[in-house]
Amino acid sequence: MTAAPAAAATVVPAEGDAAPDFELSNQFGEPVRLSSFRGQNVVLVFYPFAFSGICTGELCELRDNLALFDTANATVLAVSVDSKFSLRAYAEQEGYGFDLLADFWPHGRVAATYGVFDAESGMARRGTFIIDAEGVIRYTVVNPRGQARNLAEYRAALASLERA
């Protein structure tokens, strides 16, 4: 069996760009297409790996604050390069009530499209994209390795969508 070619690194889409569409399987193997969320905001969260310390802390913080996203008419989609099987076990263990999407094969293709795939380590970097109801990126942040994201930044970005 031949390995798939490494995903080409791309530039992180900028605020004001149309969000690149994609379809990935969630933790239950169900297809989830970004464009199917038009009419509502989306918080697209790339994270390195299921079951890792910082990632678990970040996703638990999202889980514990889902009302913030509901109030802003926002759906959380969390993406890693793990398989749907790992993501299902992870979601069940942590009680996540949002979709965990498997960017497993071709390995990291969607993360690469969003400019957050680290081909050297084979994982997604910590990138967050808040996408408005029209499919336009309104907030982008890519955190350095080992640095968790700040929930207050999500809150401010979502509040700015409400004022727009």
pLDDT in tens, 21-64: 999 999 999 999 999 999 999 999 999 999 999 999 999 999 99
Q: Which of 55, 72, 77, 157 is catalytic?
A: 55
Catalytic residue list contains 60: no
Secondary structure letter of residue 67 according to DSSP: H
Residues 108-149 pLDDT 10s: 999 999 999 999 999 999 999 999 999 999 999 999 888 888
Q: Residue 45's closest CA among 131, 135, 164, 107? A: 131
Phi, psi at residue 62, to the nearest 5°? -65, -45
CA atoms within 13 A on the CB side of 90: 27
Confidence band for 2, pLDDT divided at 50, 70 and 90 = very low
Cis amide bond preceding 106, omega within 30: yes
- For residue 126, give the H/E element and its range: strand 126-131
pTM greater than 0.85 (yes/no): yes
Site of tokens 């297409």: 33
